Amino acid sequence: MKFSAIDWFDFQRILIGMLFKDNSLLPEIDESLFFDSDFRVIYCATRDLIKKGKRATQKTVRAELESLGMPDDAREVPEAWFTVANKAFYIKQLTKRRDAKALQAKLQDALRALERSGLAG
């Protein structure tokens, strides 16, 4: 199944929302799954709050980002998601996308190296 840019955006938003629903998911959700810079900032603020022993919610993460001088990111913090039952789907899809993008970057680097050496085309 091919997902659109909007789907990928939603996957990140939903996964953050799941983390608000259940902060204990933190060890299962890696920063690298958030390729959108806004969501990466939100994830990092969420992670930092949880690691400090505080409850990460939409309200607390917004307050944290505001205190860091990031009001635009604070406005983007999603609501808690209603369930974490399908978390594996979102983690799996975002992991596959991250891995595919990493492979694509490696292949592009290899092609550029071949072109520089004169061996390609």
Domain boundaries, the chain: 5-117
Identify the burial level of 102 via C-beta atoms within 10 angstroms of its C-beta, where 0-12 means exposed, 13-18 middle and 19 or more buried: exposed
| pLDDT single digits (tens) 62-85 | 999 999 999 999 999 999 998 888
DSSP 51: H
Q: So what's the pLDDT on residue 84?
A: 87
Please tell me the CATH code under which domain 5-117 is placed. 1.10.860.10
Q: Say what the pLDDT of residue 85 is.
A: 86
Task: Check residue 121 and give its pLDDT.
Answer: 58
pLDDT in the model for residue 119: 72
**pTM of the entire predicted model:** 0.82
- pLDDT of 120: 60
| Ranges of the chain with pLDDT below 70 | 120-121
Separation of alpha carbons 74 and 58, rounded Å: 9
Other CB atoms within a 10 A radius of the CB of residue 42 amount to 29
CA distance 54 to 110: 44
DSSP calls for 52-112: TTPPP-HHHHHHHHHHTT-HHHHHTPPPPPS--TTHHHHHHHHHHHHHHHHHHHHHHHHHH
12 exposed, middle or buried (CB, 10 Å; 0-12, 13-18, 19+)?
Answer: buried
